[in-house]
Amino acid sequence: EAGVAQSPRYKIIEKRQSVAFWCNPISGHATLYWYQQILGQGPKLLIQFQNNGVVDDSQLPKDRFSAERLKGVDSTLKIQPAKLEDSAVYLCASSLPRDSSSYNEQFFGPGTRLTVL
Amino acid sequence: GESVGLHLPTLSVQEGDNSIINCAYSNSASDYFIWYKQESGKGPQFIIDIRSNMDKRQGQRVTVLLNKTVKHLSLQIAATQPGDSAVYFCAETSTGRRALTFGSGTRLQVQP
């Protein structure tokens, strides 16, 4: 089974520039997550989609971050403009939909390492 | 606020020894806990999970223990191997929530 795909793997930009990350989840996984992982810390959820709808974006800095999943499959995460503190690994994960009585394992992609200079 | 933390940032063990990685959580509403392994340059990989109605669950060479009284979670790895060297994260969630809250991680170093 193919895993979660992400691109690019690495990106270096200067502050105030824009950047976009792409994620292709596992086929059939309706739920997609974007996490930010700062060096030495655990991943922090930015946004969660169920199909093409947003379930949770409470921790997304909406003044500069945006994400979309227009057709309910691939997703893009954008930062505009980037700040130094945005340097991190951006992880995409996907899972089958969770119902009220179960939890479905999240499968993570390899991440995109962003460096903001 | 809600938090999931770890007691030790780095754990060094000899190959063949057993490893124990600890985690404390503060959200008493948490009812599902997961341990992830993350190798350099890779995303987190699921190891084992446990629901709050259990206090122990075993997998292949791994055991997770849950103590809800003191909000403590541990991961035991038997006969630790060099391939077990990685950063280990605990994560928690609760019925009604959908997001995982991750701890800050423990680096496990296995000495040959």
Per-residue pLDDT band for B103 (boundaries 50, 70, 90) equals: confident
What's the confidence (pLDDT) of residue B97? 66
Give the pLDDT band (50/70/90) at residue B3: very low
Q: Is B9 helix (H, G, I), strand (E, B) or coil?
A: coil
**Is the dihedral angle over the CA atoms B40, A9, A45, A4 positive or is it negative?**
negative
Residue A14 Cα, gap to closest chain B Cα (Å): 22
Q: In B, which residues are within 8 Å of A102 by CB distance?
A: none
pLDDT band at B104 (very low <50, low <70, confident <90, very high): confident
Is B1 in CB contact (< 8 Å) with chain A? no
Rounded to the nearest angstrom, the minimum Cα separation between B1 and chain A is 14
Report chain B residues whose CB lies below 8 A from the CB of A45: 99-101
3-state secondary structure of A34: strand
pLDDT the model gives residue A39: 87
In degrees rounded to 5, what are phi and psi of residue B94? -145, 155
Interface contact flag, A4 B43, Cβ < 8 Å: yes
Task: Identify the pLDDT of residue B5.
Answer: 46
Residues 6+ apart with CB under 8 A from B78: B18, B61, B62, B63
Q: Confidence class of residue B99 from pLDDT cuts 50, 70 and 90?
A: confident
Mean pLDDT, range B19-35, rounded to an integer: 91
Please give the torsion angle defined by the CA atoms of residues B2, B7, B10 and B14, in that order, rounded to the nearest 10 degrees. -130
Tell me the chain B residues in contact with residue A44 when contact means C-beta distances shorter than 8 Å. 102
Contact call for A41 and B44, based on CB within 8 A: no
Regions in chain A scoring below 70 on pLDDT: 1, 98-102
CA angle (A116 as vertex; A113, B3 as ends), nearest 5: 65
Q: pLDDT grade, residue B6 (50/70/90)?
A: very low
CB A22 within 8 A of CB A109: no
Closest approach of chain A CAs to the CA of B95, in angstroms? 7
Please state, for a pLDDT cut of 70, what percent of chain B lies above it: 90
Closest chain A residue to the Cα of B93, Cα to Cα: A103
Average pLDDT, chain B: 89
B95–A43 CB contact, under 8 Å: no
Flag if B102 and A109 touch (Cβ within 8 Å): no
Nearest to B89 by CA among A93, A79, A26: A93
Say whether pLDDT at B66 is over 90.
Answer: yes
A31, A100, A110 member nearest B42 (Cβ): A110
- The conformation of residue B6, written as its DSSP 8-state character, comes to -
pLDDT at position A2: 81
